[in-house]
Amino acid sequence: MEKISYKDSGVDINEGNALVDKIKPLVKKTFNNNVIGTLGSFAGAYAIPSGFKDPVILSSTDGVGTKLRLAIDSNKLDTIGIDLVAMCVNDLICNFATPMFFLDYYATAKLNKDSAFEVIKGITNGCLEAQCALIGGETAEMPGMYHNNDFDLAGFAVGIAEKNDLENKKVNIGDVLIALPSSGIHSNGYSLVRKICFEKLNMKFNDLLDDRKIIDILLEPTRIYVKTFKDIKNHINALAHITGGGIIENLPRVLNGLGAKIEKSKIKSQNIFDFLSKYVDEKELYRTFNMGVGMILVTNKENVDFVLQKSDGFIIGEVQNNNTIEII
């Protein structure tokens, strides 16, 4: 019997090594003084930042959902890595954690180092925006598990917070709700988006909506809110990342049993949501999409002016003494 190599089975070790060499300069740009060692070790090492009295380590993991399907099918891979970082670090700051470092997992049937490089370049750009270091990751070539050009992504972020910030932040009746605008659909609801645009309407990637290609609108990367959080964290009581489930399901997670009234007319929504509203009931829209609100901040009335000055936020409502979310 003729002897068989690992490459014959579909795994090219040399291609993987070439990818690592290619991404090293990009990854190094994300490093800061707390990163210990270099890329390529068995584990990433990161020193605990100084200046914390009672530090707590927090972690978050996520993917990008079926937005990835659109990126693969359109071969537009340069921004999906930003989404991956955003979905993780935006969750961390909701627990008042400052992101420290990030790791990624990239799995595919057959590694194409050029495609993988585009994805990881997006991840490094996301890490630079989030001011955290990309200290490691895994690229897995698994023929038989994936097919053709398909690949999957997962991200892992670790942050640090004062224990006091986790325990003593309190939301009060009458607190003001300030929305930070999204950049678009972000990374949730894409199974519904794909069904509307490409099954029901038979749209093509290059079809125009508001003078932009629909694929560019749909792949607009998720906004990262870390820098804004750092500017305002001492002047807010809570943050809610508006992801799957929309405002209705995510805002209650930070209200500690209280409710909220939101004025729909004050939400600054992008046209893509007006477009989708032609095919989806309003209630379903608000349970599926962010509707133009990427993050909701909860703050005392006396801090409203400061928060508005330090962000591009806008007031959309206030906390109420009930346990329901009213969008009127």
Q: Which of 109, 140, 168 is the last residue of a domain?
A: 168
Residues 150 and 215 in one domain: no
Q: Based on the domain organization, do 243 and 106 belong to the same domain? A: no
Same domain for 105 and 129? yes
Query: Of 101, 70, 78, whose CA–CA distance to 88 is shortest?
Result: 101
Last residue of a domain, which of 168, 201, 221?
168
Rounded distance, CA 170 to CA 71, Å?
A: 40
**Could you tell me whether strands 212-213 and 293-299 are parallel, antiparallel, or unpaired per DSSP bridges?**
unpaired
Q: For position 168, what pLDDT does the model report? A: 67
In a domain, 118, yes or no: yes
Is residue 2 included in any domain, yes or no? Answer: no
List pLDDT tens digits, range 280-318: 999 999 999 999 999 999 999 999 999 999 999 999 999
- Neighbour-count burial for 58-79, b at 16+ CB within 10 Å, e otherwise: bebebbbbbbbebbbebebbeb
Write the CATH number for 74.
3.30.1330.10
Cα–Cα distances (Å) from 289 to 68, 201, 220, 248, in that order, read: 17, 19, 14, 10
250 shares a domain with 145:
no
β-bridge mates for residue 138, sequence order = 105
**3-class SS at 298?**
strand
> Is the separation of the CB atoms in 185 and 326 below 8 Å?
no
Instruction: Look at residue 46 and tell me if it is in a domain.
Output: no
Domain boundary among 130, 152, 168: 168
Same domain, 223 and 319: yes
130 and 11 share one domain:
yes
Distance separating alpha carbons of residues 41 and 135, to the nearest angstrom: 10
Distances (CA, A) of 34 to 49, 54, 97, 134, 144: 7, 18, 16, 12, 39
Kindly give the confidence (pLDDT) of every residue in the chain, 328 residues in length, as a single tens digit, with 9 standing for 90 and above: 678 777 756 777 888 888 888 899 999 999 999 999 888 788 999 999 999 999 999 999 999 999 999 999 999 999 999 999 999 999 999 999 999 999 999 999 999 999 999 999 999 999 999 999 999 999 999 999 998 999 999 999 999 999 998 876 789 999 999 999 999 999 999 999 999 999 999 999 999 999 999 999 999 999 999 999 999 999 999 999 999 999 999 999 999 999 999 999 999 999 999 999 999 999 999 999 999 999 999 999 999 999 999 999 999 999 999 989 999 9
Q: Are residues 109 and 241 in the same domain?
A: no
CA distance 237 to 245: 22
Give me the number of domains the chain comprises.
2
User: Exposed e or buried b for every residue in 262-286, given b needs 16+ CB within 10 A?
Assistant: beeeebebbebbebbeeebeeeebb
Determine the Cα–Cα distance for residues 299 and 303; give it in Å rounded to an integer: 6
Task: Give the bridge partners for 306, in sequence order.
Answer: none
Q: Which structural domain range is residue 162 located in?
A: 7-41+51-168
Beta bridge partners of 154: 105
106 located within any domain: yes
Q: Are 257 and 323 in contact (CB under 8 A)?
A: yes
- Kindly report the CATH number assigned to the domain that includes residue 271: 3.90.650.10
H helices within the chain, ranges in order? 13-29, 67-74, 80-93, 113-130, 163-168, 190-194, 214-218, 226-232, 246-250, 271-276, 282-288, 304-309
Residue 73 lies in a domain: yes
Are 300 and 191 in the same domain? yes
Q: Beta-carbon neighbour count of residue 168 at 10 Å?
A: 9
For residue 277, give the 3-state DSSP assignment: coil
Residue labelled with tokens 């936020």? 313
- Is this prediction's pTM over 0.85? yes
Residue 253 falls within a domain, yes or no?
A: yes
For residue 88, count other CB atoms closer than 10 A to its CB. Answer: 28
Q: Are residues 131 and 272 in the same domain?
A: no
Is residue 62 within a helix (H) or strand (E), and if so which, with residue range? Answer: strand 55-62
pLDDT, residue 97, reads 97
Based on the fold, state whether residues 164 and 186 are members of the same structural domain.
no
Is 78 in the same domain as 16? yes
CB-based contact 15:143 (threshold 8 Å)? no
36 and 149 inside one domain = yes
With respect to residue 1, please indicate whether it lies within any of the assigned structural domains: no
